[in-house]
Amino acid sequence: MPVSPASPSTARAINDRLALGLLQSEGPLTATQLKQLTGLSRPSVADLVERLQGCGLIAVVGEAGASRRGPNARLYGIVADRAHLAALDVRTESVSVVVTDLLGAVLAEASAAIGGDTDAAVEGALALVERTAKEGGVERLHTLGIGAPGLIDPATGELHDTTSLPAWHRRLAGALQERFGAHVLVENESNLAARAEQRDGAARDRDTFVLLWLGDGVGAAVVLDGVVRRGASGGAGEIGFLPVPGTGHLPSATGCEGGFHSLACADALRELGAEHGLLKPDMTAADVVRYAVEADEGAFLDAAADRIAIGVAAMAALLDPGCVVLGGETGRAGGAALADRVTARVGAMSPLRTEVRASALGGSAVLRGALFAALDAAQDELFGGRGR
């Protein structure tokens, strides 16, 4: 059937967003360069430049060429301080925050331990965001992205109530929105880490992959055709509950002990380190794995890979992702030495080729993913509404 032509307002919105996307990815451009890159006519480019300047989204930021002058030499760029953003990585006992402009340039960042009762913890987190914004010279925040452990309700966008996480986690998003009057997004830490790994980390070349989070808990983020899949209740990737051999009992609806969690969580790998004589006082699971890699303790790494491969092989059989990224504190610590061992074991268990890679982003993956979420949301609102 015939397709109706776009209305003038819709066409303007599409053209504006196209130009803004180019200015974001390429940096400042002249009107002539915008014409060449968009394929639009000169009058159309002139119109969109006037519209975008009029609403404060772009401005003249310089001139092209040392000797050129006049309208054709003007360089147009996005007004980066049109909106300011914050991203938070919320841990059980700490918060990290970064404040940026609309293009993601970091203006200030900080971390702090968060403790005390619920009210004190919420106020401590709010004060940290306020101090960091002030240090960055920011008076108003447009959008905040939060990465936190736990399940996100896909219907409400809120953290599920759970006894395994501090109560202040569920209070924080509402408190931030009330204090700053900003748009607040909350997302599971594994999903945000996957978003960051896909944007500029270990999965840059993948539209479909799984990020396996190995930390105090065990989880996974499922990315299919470029989209994070959350499941009907937000629980896609809760691989810690996967029943597996070798744990002695089964997980339950109220706890993942006995599931894959019991093979690959931090406590389980610390116990494995103790069995191999590697555990020293105050060592975390990540410390044990890192030491094993540095000391070339192959027996421990082989045993750890045997355990992790069980979960990876299950995801390969169900999803055929082709690639699994090992993230979280423990997964990152293993690097290529652990990832390569897991690849070999999964290859022996499954006919589906699955490459296992180590995270490329270190401990910054969740915070960077939260920033990408905030940037995308703010730019969608400010850029996507052009011409409406």
DSSP assignment of 253-314 equals: TTB-TTBTHHHHSHHHHHHHHHHTT---TT--HHHHHHHHHHTT-HHHHHHHHHHHHHHHHH
Q: Provide the pLDDT for residue 21.
A: 87
Give the domain extent around 335.
Answer: 202-360
Residue 197 included in any domain? no
Q: Are residues 327 and 295 in the same domain?
A: yes
Q: Are residues 253 and 348 in the same domain?
A: yes
The answer to whether residues 127 and 175 touch, using CB atoms and an 8 Å cutoff, is: no
Residue 2 included in any domain? no
Q: Are residues 345 and 206 in the same domain?
A: yes
Q: Are residues 262 and 183 in the same domain?
A: no
> Could you tell me the sign of the dihedral formed by the alpha carbons of 335, 341, 344, 346, in that order?
negative
Q: Are residues 26 and 174 in the same domain?
A: no
DSSP per residue, 159-203: BPP-TTS-HHHHHHHHHHHHHH--EEEEEEHHHHHHHHHHHHSTT
CATH number, residue 95? 3.30.420.40
Residue 3 included in any domain? no
Q: Are residues 121 and 154 in the same domain?
A: yes
Q: Are residues 242 and 312 in the same domain?
A: yes
Q: Provide the pLDDT for residue 156.
A: 65
- Cα–Cα distance, 352 to 214 (Å, whole number): 23
Q: Provide the pLDDT for residue 347.
A: 97
- Cα–Cα distance, 216 to 165 (Å, whole number): 12
Total structural domains in the chain? 3
User: Residue 152 contacts by C-beta under 8 Å, 6 or more apart in sequence?
Assistant: 158, 159, 160, 186, 187, 188, 191, 230, 234
Q: Are residues 245 and 309 in the same domain?
A: yes
Among residues 374, 365, 340, 372, which one has the least CA distance to residue 193? 365
The span from the first CA to the last CA of the chain, in angstroms, equals 27
**Local confidence pLDDT in tens for the 388 residues of the chain:** 444 455 777 788 888 888 988 998 899 999 999 999 999 999 999 999 999 999 899 999 888 865 556 677 889 999 999 999 999 999 888 999 999 999 999 999 999 999 889 999 999 999 999 999 999 999 999 999 999 887 777 666 666 666 567 888 888 999 999 999 999 999 999 999 999 999 999 999 999 999 999 999 899 999 999 999 988 888 899 999 999 988 889 999 888 999 999 999 999 999 999 999 999 999 999 999 999 999 999 999 999 999 999 999 999 999 999 999 999 999 999 999 999 999 999 999 999 999 999 999 988 999 999 999 999 999 888 887 543 3
Q: Give CA separation, 318 vs 21, 203, 222, 322, in Å.
A: 36, 19, 11, 11
- Other CB atoms within a 10 A radius of the CB of residue 124 amount to 17
- Cα–Cα distance, 216 to 80 (Å, whole number): 38
Alpha helices in the chain (DSSP H): 8-26, 31-38, 42-54, 118-135, 167-180, 189-200, 261-264, 266-275, 285-294, 298-319, 328-349, 365-384
Q: Provide the pLDDT for residue 11.
A: 81
Say if residue 197 is exposed, middle or buried (CB neighbours under 10 Å; 0-12, 13-18, 19+): buried
Q: Provide the pLDDT for residue 1.
A: 44
Q: Are residues 253 and 207 in the same domain?
A: yes
Give, as one character, the DSSP assignment of residue 109: E
Q: Are residues 230 and 321 in the same domain?
A: yes
- Cα–Cα distance, 227 to 222 (Å, whole number): 8
Q: Are residues 175 and 321 in the same domain?
A: no
Residue 1 included in any domain? no
